[in-house]
Amino acid sequence: MPVTGDSTVAEVLDEYGKITRAHLKTWLPQGDPGDYLYGPMADYPQRGGRMFRPSLCIATGRMFGASIEQLVPAAVSIELLHNALLIHDDIEDESDERRGKPTLHKQIGTPLALNAGDSLAFLSLRPIIKASSSMGSASVVRILEEFDQMAQQTAEGQALDLGWRRDNQIDLREQDYLKMVLKKTCWLTTLFPVRLGALIGSGGRANLDSLFNFAFFLGAAFQIQDDVLNLVGNHERYGKELGGDLLEGKRTLMLVNLLELSSSEERTRIKTILDTPREARSEASVSWLQSSMIDKGCIDYAKELAHGLAGAASHEFEKVFNGLPESGDKAFLSKLPSWVIERS
């Protein structure tokens, strides 16, 4: 089904998701060791997912003039890396569920899951490297420079997220949260897909840095909505344990906002709750955290900020992509900011 200006966001995600998934499958190795490596590597990609990241790359690239064929290697690479990092994130966060099933390390043990994540991460480079025959070696190297930058930013963001939790850091403000989200989420989720799309679509002529605000605002709105859904979403549609972020002590926008609005005594109580090992943390204390967030308006605040960021992303979109001709892909991209905060 061709993408037109009338296509809904869901229809475009479905269309580009299907294309990416079909190609991705051809890159997953078969054979031995099946149980120990290639089965586990194929697990998360087979569980589905919205295909937001590869679709964002394909749509941006087409808006800039590339064909789907030219964009598919980058789209597959992004989705493979995303799945690789999910495996490692789940180990790091000791998460129980992913896309409605037990996490990979809960199924096959941490050692084999960690190794499958490593292998999937390296595999994510293969579609790019092997595209040299069609796009030329210089373009491959240019894309890998982008990959390298994104990987470093992502690791920095992940380090902040994990480090703050390990040290039970509560001296955090909204700007710290946004810096962490820029690195941890936005680089892989929005900046990298948009930059690669523009790079490939424009043949290297687009000013990639001019896309920063659009992608950052979109990605931050996406992450905050994810924070909110983790707390108040529908379990079946969300696919992860609800309240998992609270159990894991994640520094979400609501938690940072709650800390900013709390008295010194309340902050001490919050710190003590977060300091308690996950398995020993009482349901009552987690409920208290959750109701404090509601009472102090933290969840509403998060929704408002996500809304504001989505609006800013729309504004940036108009500003930056104004000169590009109208198309189904441009229409899809223009609808993404609203979609990001409306999705459940």
Q: Which residues bind a second copy (CB under 8 A)?
A: 29, 32-33, 35-37, 85, 88, 91-93, 108-112, 114-116, 118-119, 121-123, 125-126, 129-130, 132, 136-138, 140-141, 144-145, 147-148, 151-152, 155-156, 158-160, 162-163, 165-166
Give the integer Cα–Cα distance in Å for 318 and 290: 38
Nearest approach, Cβ of 232 to a second copy (angstroms)?
A: 26
Give the integer Cα–Cα distance in Å for 151 and 128: 15
Nearby residues of 140 by Cβ (< 8 Å), 6 or more positions away: 128, 129, 131, 132
- CA distances to 92, 105, 166, 189 from 110, rounded to whole Å, are 10, 5, 19, 25
Give 148 or 304: the residue with its C-beta nearer to a second copy: 148
Nearest approach, Cβ of 141 to a second copy (angstroms)?
A: 5
Nearest to 291 by CA among 231, 227, 223: 231
Give 199 or 228: the residue with its C-beta nearer to a second copy: 199
Nearest approach, Cβ of 207 to a second copy (angstroms)?
A: 22
Q: Which residues pair with 97 in a beta bridge?
A: 102
Give 48 or 163: the residue with its C-beta nearer to a second copy: 163
Q: How many helices (H) and strands (E) does the chain have?
A: 19, 2
What is the sign, positive or negative, of the torsion defined by CA atoms of 88, 92, 94, 95?
A: negative
Give 4 or 122: the residue with its C-beta nearer to a second copy: 122
Give 71 or 84: the residue with its C-beta nearer to a second copy: 84
Nearest approach, Cβ of 196 to a second copy (angstroms)?
A: 15
Nearest approach, Cβ of 6 to a second copy (angstroms)?
A: 41
Give the integer Cα–Cα distance in Å for 127 and 272: 47
Query: What letter represents residue 297's amino acid?
Result: G
Q: Please measure the distance between the N-terminal and C-terminal CA atoms of the chain and give it in whole angstroms.
A: 25
Q: Give me the long-range contacts of 272-276 (CB less than 8 A, separation at least 24).
A: 274/165, 274/168, 274/170, 274/249, 275/168
Give 32 or 265: the residue with its C-beta nearer to a second copy: 32
Give 11 or 97: the residue with its C-beta nearer to a second copy: 97
- H/E run at residue 98: strand 97-98
Nearest approach, Cβ of 35 to a second copy (angstroms)?
A: 7
Nearest approach, Cβ of 138 to a second copy (angstroms)?
A: 4
Query: What letter represents residue 21's amino acid?
Result: R
Give 250 or 303: the residue with its C-beta nearer to a second copy: 250
Nearby residues of 205 by Cβ (< 8 Å), 6 or more positions away: none
Nearest approach, Cβ of 154 to a second copy (angstroms)?
A: 8
Q: Which residues pair with 101 in a beta bridge?
A: 98
Give 208 or 232: the residue with its C-beta nearer to a second copy: 208
Nearest approach, Cβ of 105 to a second copy (angstroms)?
A: 11
Give the integer Cα–Cα distance in Å for 120 and 118: 6
Nearest to 305 by CA among 255, 254, 233: 254
